[in-house]
């Protein structure tokens, strides 16, 4: 068996994303890896949390991997796929995948870990796979259900991934709540390689959609606050264009859960999103502050995304890297400029570049461009098989 590639879990961002991406690429390409000091840059000693463990367990089953260290708080895992892909983790093609978390750990970080595998491992039949995941739907520092539905999935469609349908059955919140949510994503695995893609022309801001999830009693106040904000900042958002704004509201059914997402859609179909699950403490006496702070922060954040002129927001930039690396050929994603200087990729994006380089040898340049490996084409895929011969180890390409 090949020697596992060693990945130090404290590299760059040093959090859970390194682990998700590395195990996913390892599963797809049957590359053994050894990750040490897992989430070593996080407080509390790092190690695997439920969400990470759940993702790795699914990938291990799907790729028939032998794994050591697969337990909560583990800081060291060795992950060695056998090369016999089981496609959806049950040894079947098509059908359903059900992943249950009993905590509000982020549904979408589990989805982030397994989606490339489901798409690229190849069911070949064009049959849809329903991915049911329970856990948190709106969790701080992770993609919310709303962000995935309104930004990630349309952007994946824009780069050539077959449309993925999203359904939320119930909300699950973090921050002291034990409410677990449920989501279904319906994914059609790729039947051939993902062609190279380019996202370099953003276009003008055409419309903005605001999604509010908050206690029903404050719906009107939130709508009013947004109206005033859009009126004041109309020119900044829309330039000379006629403003197009849509606001939707959903009752959070929880007196302390205030969530806002703003998504800008451009004339070229690009989506830029920013959101926030208010996390500074909600008390009976501070609702006015909660509402004004929420609207101000999210609109400030979206404006800075719009001002840099890029085709991806800060979060999408790191989430598209795996698709760039697996597509066939030169993939370019423009991240924008500040004061005429290219925006540096976030630490998460730099980490994803590093993992892609270490595990599947894809190089990203400073502009975030790479030559993707074209995963999925049997003719182009270079499966290296190691055969032990009496006189030594010889490598053959098949
Ligand atoms: N507000 C947001 N909207 C969309 N995506 C987000 C948002 N915040 C974070 N993300 C994405 O969530 C992922 C977070 O990765 P990270 O390694 O920090 O997660 P983690 O598994 O929770 O790890 P850790 O607990 O170690 O921080 C990244 O892909 C990042 O782009």
The CA angle 39-277-203, to the nearest 5 degrees, is: 95
In a domain, 63, yes or no: yes
In a domain, 290, yes or no: yes
CA of 155 to the centre of ligand 1 (A): 18
Query: Is 209 annotated as belonging to a binding site?
Result: no
In a domain, 26, yes or no: yes
Q: Which of 169-183, 298-312, 380-394 has the highest mean pLDDT?
A: 298-312
Given 59, 85, 111, which residue is the final one in a domain? 85
pLDDT band at 178 (very low <50, low <70, confident <90, very high): low
Predicted confidence (pLDDT) at residue 4 exceeds the cutoff of 60? yes
Least confident of 169-183, 260-274, 374-388: 374-388
In a domain, 286, yes or no: yes
Tell me, what CATH number does 273's domain have?
3.30.360.20
Predicted confidence (pLDDT) at residue 70 exceeds the cutoff of 80? yes
CA of 142 to the centre of ligand 1 (A): 4
Least confident of 21-25, 293-297, 371-375, 384-388: 384-388
For the chain, what percent of residues have pLDDT higher than 70? Answer: 90
pLDDT digit string, tens, across residues 133-146: 999 999 999 999 99
CA of 65 to the centre of ligand 1 (A): 25
Contact 55, 110 (CB under 8 A): yes
Tell me the catalytic residues.
348
Joined tokens for residue 45: 């000693």
Q: H-type helices in 30-90, by residue range?
A: 50-62
- pLDDT value, residue 90: 45
**Closest C-alpha to ligand 1, atom 22:** 16
pLDDT digit string, tens, across residues 240-285: 999 999 999 999 988 999 999 999 999 999 999 999 999 888 888 8
pLDDT digit string, tens, across residues 197-209: 999 999 999 999 9
Query: Is 316 annotated as belonging to a binding site?
Result: yes
Farthest CA pair distance, the chain:
78
Mean pLDDT of 225-248: 96
CA of 141 to the centre of ligand 1 (A): 5
Helix (H) or strand (E) holding 275: strand 271-277
Query: Is 319 annotated as belonging to a binding site?
Result: yes
Query: Is 251 annotated as belonging to a binding site?
Result: no
- pLDDT value, residue 266: 98
- pLDDT value, residue 83: 83
- pLDDT value, residue 102: 77
pLDDT band at 44 (very low <50, low <70, confident <90, very high): confident
Mean pLDDT of 334-339: 95
Contact 57, 110 (CB under 8 A): no
**Closest C-alpha to ligand 1, atom 10:** 142
Measured between alpha carbons, how far is 33 from 290 in angstroms, rounded to an integer?
A: 45
- pLDDT value, residue 45: 83
DSSP 268: T
In a domain, 68, yes or no: yes
Q: Give the number of domains in the chain.
A: 2
Contact 336, 290 (CB under 8 A): no
**Closest C-alpha to ligand 1, atom 15:** 17
Joined tokens for residue 87: 């496609």
In a domain, 125, yes or no: no
Tell me, what CATH number does 47's domain have?
3.30.110
3-state helix, strand, coil in the chain (%, to 5): 30, 25, 40
- Determine the atom of ligand 1 nearest the C-alpha atom of 275: 1
Range(s) of the domain holding residue 302: 205-308
Given 36, 61, 85, which residue is the final one in a domain? 85
Given 85, 107, 132, which residue is the final one in a domain? 85
Predicted confidence (pLDDT) at residue 149 exceeds the cutoff of 90? yes
**Closest C-alpha to ligand 1, atom 5:** 143
Determine the residue of 19, 141, 318 to mutate for testing ligand 1's pocket, defined as the one with the most ligand atoms within 8 A of the Cβ atom: 141
Mean pLDDT of 76-94: 73
55-66: burial string, b at 16+ Cβ within 10 Å, e else: bbebbbbbbbbe
In a domain, 225, yes or no: yes
| 202-to-130, 187, 196, 244, 372 alpha-carbon distances in Å | 32, 26, 18, 18, 22
Mean pLDDT of 22-42: 96
In a domain, 389, yes or no: no
**Closest C-alpha to ligand 1, atom 20:** 16
Q: Which of 55-59, 187-191, 380-384 has the highest mean pLDDT?
A: 55-59
- pLDDT value, residue 392: 32
CA of 220 to the centre of ligand 1 (A): 31
Return mean pLDDT, the chain.
90
- Determine the atom of ligand 1 nearest the C-alpha atom of 42: 26
Residues flanking ligand 1, CB < 6 Å: 13, 15-17, 39, 42, 109, 141-143, 147, 275, 315, 318-319, 348
pLDDT band at 179 (very low <50, low <70, confident <90, very high): confident
């Amino acid at each position: 068996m090949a020697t596992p590639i060693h990945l130090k879990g404290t590299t760059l961002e040093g959090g859970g994303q390194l682990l998700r991406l590395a195990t996913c690429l390892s599963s797809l390409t049957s590359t053994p890896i050894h990750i040490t000091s897992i989430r070593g840059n996080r407080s509390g000693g790092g190690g695997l949390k439920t969400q990470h463990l759940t993702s790795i367990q699914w990938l291990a089953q799907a790729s028939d991997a032998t794994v050591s260290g697969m337990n909560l708080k583990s800081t060291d895992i060795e992950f060695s796929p056998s090369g016999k892909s089981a496609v959806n983790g049950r040894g079947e093609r098509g059908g359903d995948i059900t992943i249950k978390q009993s905590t509000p750990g982020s549904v979408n970080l589990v989805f982030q870990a397994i989606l490339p595998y489901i798409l690229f491992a190849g069911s070949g039949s064009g049959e849809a796979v329903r991915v049911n995941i329970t856990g948190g739907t709106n969790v701080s520092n992770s993609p919310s259900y709303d962000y995935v539905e309104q930004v990630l999935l349309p952007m994946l469609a824009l780069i050539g991934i077959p449309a993925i349908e999203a359904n939320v059955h119930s909300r699950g919140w973090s921050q002291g709540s034990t409410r677990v949510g449920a989501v279904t994503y319906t994914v059609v695995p790729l039947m051939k390689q993902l062609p190279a893609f380019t996202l370099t022309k953003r276009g003008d801001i055409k419309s903005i959609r605001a999604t509010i999830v908050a206690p029903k009693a404050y719906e009107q106040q939130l709508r009013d606050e947004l109206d005033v904000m859009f009126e004041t900042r109309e020119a900044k958002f829309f330039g000379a264009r006629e403003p197009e704004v849509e606001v939707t509201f959903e009752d959070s059914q929880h007196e302390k859960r205030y969530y806002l997402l703003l998504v800008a859609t451009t004339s070229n179909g690009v989506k830029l999103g920013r959101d926030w699950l208010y996390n500074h403490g909600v008390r009976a006496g501070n609702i006015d502050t909660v509402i004004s702070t929420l609207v101000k922060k999210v609109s400030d954040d979206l404006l800075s995304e719009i001002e840099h002129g890029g085709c991806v927001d800060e979060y999408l930039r790191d989430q598209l890297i795996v698709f760039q690396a697996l597509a066939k050929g030169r993939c370019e994603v423009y991240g924008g400029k500040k004061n005429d200087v290219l925006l540096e990729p976030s630490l998460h994006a730099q980490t994803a570049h590093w993992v892609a380089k270490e595990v599947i040898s894809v190089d990203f340049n400073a502009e975030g461009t790479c030559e993707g490996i074209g995963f999925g084409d049997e003719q182009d895929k270079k499966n290296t098989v190691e055969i032990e011969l009496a006189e030594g180890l010889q490598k053959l390409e098949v």
